Structure 1
Amino acid sequence: MAPANQNFALRPMLPADIPLLAEIFRASVEELAVEDYSDAQIEAWVEAADDEEAFGKRLSDQLTLLATMDGAPVGFASLKGSDVIDMLYVHPAAAGQGAAKLLVDALEKLAGARGAKKLTVEASDTAHDFFRRRGYTAKSRNTVLRGDEWLANTTMEKSFGDETAEPGATLQ
């Protein structure tokens, strides 16, 4: 695994970023999900970015942050409402260097500031271990239809500030 890159920064999404974010989305799915999904599933998944206007509206309707490296966007994440991570994608060239961690750290802080007691994500099989390592627990296994293809994912959840936990106890 590559060492964490200290040149990452965060900024909000701008409308002009949408074409590049669609490309990051496509590259991320096409290159990082190949071990977990079939070619047909990947093709159906990336079609979500074919309509850039709809893709951009989805991101614009949410709180969307970009991770940049030396000023160039390399990943993005979006918070739907106050308690759902809707999208998290990092360009394969920046994968494993800390961009996803930076994005999710920020969304967790923002969710907490918005009063969320927990954060939920429908994690792809590719992202499952990333979220598990961050303290998210699996709640249900799902299948979602994309085009003519069924894709599996897992609803995962992380609770914040659980006052019922005993001091020193770890939340499972």
Structure 2
Amino acid sequence: MHLREGSDADTVSCVALFTASVHGLAGEYYTPAQCHAWAPLAPDMGFWQQRLAGLQCLLAEDETGLLGFIGYTHDGHIDMLFCAPTAARRGVASALYRDAEARLRSRGVGWLRTEASLLAQHFFLRQGFVSEAREEVERAGVLLPRYRMSKTLD
């Protein structure tokens, strides 16, 4: 596995991985209706191009293709972290997160924050984040629970 910075050319593969991840991994925590509202099977690519353009993205790949990606901002917001269902629990998310955190530390960022899905909350707790509040966000008229989390860097 190797990590690299993402580019506009990666949008289609990142969106496909996001959709597969939500439908393939989050179903244990979310209903089918919630998964479809969160990750429509016919994604709005214009929305995704704009969303990813506002983020620093790191991708994890191997000879089989894209394994996962993380999107963050330079002020310490971890916006997205998704792995392909076939790459789950193989260290992909951990490698992506460690690299992003190191990059943010090198920029002098002292505090990280994220809005974690019910599935991702466990991962972020293991990385030293604390849950600040459970909240709900609306997508396509459907409410999705998530956790607002943060971590102070040493």
TM range (shorter): over 0.9
1:111 aligns with 2:104: yes
Alignment of 1:55-66 (within 5 A): 55-66=48-59
Higher helix share: 2
AA partner of residue 17 (structure 1):
D
Q: CA deviation at 1:116?
A: 1.2
Equivalent position to 1:100, from 93, 96, 121: 93
1:149 aligns with 2:126: no
Distance 2:2 2:50 in 1: 24
Distance 2:99 2:22 in 1: 22
Aligned alpha-carbon RMSD (Å): 1.4
Q: Partner residue of 2:11?
A: 18
Give structure 1 regions of 4+ aligned residues with deviation exceeding 6 angstroms. none
Q: Which runs of 5+ in 1 are unaligned?
A: 1-7, 162-172
Alignment of 1:14-163 (within 5 A): 14-47=7-40, 50-70=43-63, 72-161=65-154
Q: CA deviation at 1:49?
A: 7.0
Q: Which has the larger radius of gyration?
A: 1
Shift in CA distance, 13/43, structure 1 to aligned 2, threshold 3 Å = same
Distance 2:127 2:103 in 1: 16
Q: CA deviation at 1:81?
A: 3.3
Distance 1:48 1:144 in 2: 19
State the number of aligned residues: 154
Query: When the two structures are superposed, what TM-score results if normalisation uses the length of structure 2?
Result: 0.95
Q: CA deviation at 1:61?
A: 1.5
Distance 1:49 1:87 in 2: 19
Q: CA deviation at 1:48?
A: 9.1
